[in-house]
Structure 1
Amino acid sequence: MAEHLPEWTPEPPRGGLSLWVRLPTGSAAALVRTAATHGVSIAGSAAFAVAASPDDHIRIPFTAPDDVLAEGVRRLGAAWREYRQTLGMSS
């Protein structure tokens, strides 16, 4: 993730099958839509909340084989760069 998403700072998981990552800026729901156009399926925090929650986290499962995860992170990085441009931020 450091190579393709250098401004993200995910915390190591304490268990489970996914990583929760807080976005540096923007909307998780909007990034989910952009990621889908890059062939990556992620979920925003609202998909797992029982009440209103901030729209600033995404869930990244890490149960796929290493090569699939590496390609997914590469694509997610491309989606993030595209999404940042919609926010008026440079890559």
Structure 2
Amino acid sequence: MIAQQDIDERTIAEDTHVERSQDHEQISILHLECEALRKQLADEKANFEAEKAKNDEENSNLKSQVSRLKAMMVKANEGISQQKKKALD
């Protein structure tokens, strides 16, 4: 009876040890997966930031072009107004 109890306790201890080893292995795998995901996220963030900077620069350039075109339209309208006045005089 005591021998059977010792065997049962040893079996439980061995099973627990195996389960813990498997748990540690699974945790190690999850840590590696997390690191890979962190790296992927960092890469995606860097790509996003680069694309955003490029878009911001393009947006700024377009705004400058719009401002120049508006100024040209104002000058053109002033010239047209002056020509109309001269034509009417």
The answer, yes or no, to whether TM exceeds 0.5 is no
- How does the TM-score come out when normalised to structure 2? 0.27
When the two structures are superposed, what TM-score results if normalisation uses the length of structure 1? 0.26
The structure with the largest strand share of the pair is 1
Instruction: Name the one with the larger helix percent.
Output: 2
Q: Using CA pairs below 8 Å that are at least 6 residues apart, which structure has the higher relative contact order? A: 1
Larger radius of gyration: 2
